[in-house]
Amino acid sequence: MFSFDQAIITFLNGFARRSPGFDRLVVFVSGDLLLKGGLFMAMVAYAWFRPDTQGSVRRTRGLILATFVGAFVALLLARGLCVTMPFRPRPLATPQFVVPAGIGAEDEAAFARMSSFPSDHATLFVALSVGLLFICRPLGTVALLFASLVILLPRLYLGYHWPSDLLAGAILGTICTLLAIALASLGRPRRLLDRLLAWAERHPAPFYAIAYLVSIQVAELFVSVRGLIHFRALLHGVAHLTGL
């Protein structure tokens, strides 16, 4: 553990349980999918219809699609690191941590079972914020501040992550987004992106239906998809036990 990790968490944890109402507010903000992911995706949807500095909506949409590719790759890498690297306990699982009011015993136990490094929240939302900076600097700045203050800071206060977890996720998301945007301007990726945008213009109904589903999953950090994966694994286990 890095010394600045312990110093920051110790400082923030000093405010825990001073005001149970404040603690519960932070728990609510951290867990409410509409307030964090929903509002963030509203900014992405706004950017989708906004022309760039040269008046091109298509270029804006190309940047958004490239950003999503980079963000998805970054999130997959983050999840891979989380399950392959040595287990790292979350701050709220350490004996000296004062658990803020409003965190239930079940939630505390669930977080204690999961490794904290790196933060998938930081990976995904910083990656998307970096992409928005390429489209509209003021909007991207607002998105980055929103991600930092509304999505990530509460996770520090509640002991869900160490600061280095968030920093590693942010770096991973930034690198993957920058690479995706750079590659999207080259040869074959550029042609594939143009074909996808042309298809979206010819067939807006199916495209926006798919985009709607993707935006929901991003807003809730793919909780539903993870649930389906676990449900499939459960069915497979039941079938194995019953010999079906």
* Other CB atoms within 10 A of residue 205 CB: 7
Reply yes or no on whether the pLDDT at 31 is more than 80.
yes
In this prediction the pTM is: 0.85
Query: What CATH code is carried by the domain that includes residue 235?
Result: 1.20.144
DSSP code at position 147: I
**Measured between alpha carbons, how far is 129 from 81 in angstroms, rounded to an integer?**
22
Tens digits of residue pLDDT in 84-126: 888 888 898 888 888 888 887 777 777 778 888 999 899 999 9
Q: Which two tokens stand for residue 52?
A: 């760039």
**3: confidence class by pLDDT, cuts 50, 70, 90:** confident
Alpha-helical (H) ranges within the chain are 3-13, 20-31, 33, 39-48, 57-84, 105-112, 120-135, 137-146, 153-157, 163-183, 187-202, 204-219, 223-242
Task: For the chain, state the CA radius of gyration.
Answer: 20
**Structure-token pair, residue 127:** 């990656």
HSE, side-chain direction, 13 A CA sphere, residue 106:
0
pLDDT digits (tens, 9 = 90+) for 210-237: 999 999 888 887 776 655 544 444 444 4
Q: Are 130 and 67 in contact (CB under 8 A)?
A: yes
Q: Which pair of tokens denotes residue 122?
A: 């930081």
Give residue 161's domain range: 3-242
pLDDT single digits (tens) 165-192: 999 999 999 999 999 999 988 878 888 8
- Locus of tokens 């590659």: 183
pLDDT digits (tens, 9 = 90+) for 126-150: 999 999 998 888 999 999 999 999 9
Number of domains in the chain: 1
The pair of three-digit structure tokens given for residue 214, joined into one six-digit string: 């993707």
What pLDDT was estimated at residue 238? 42
Mean pLDDT, all residues of the chain: 85
- Please state, in angstroms and rounded to a whole number, the distance separating the CA atoms of residues 114 and 90: 8
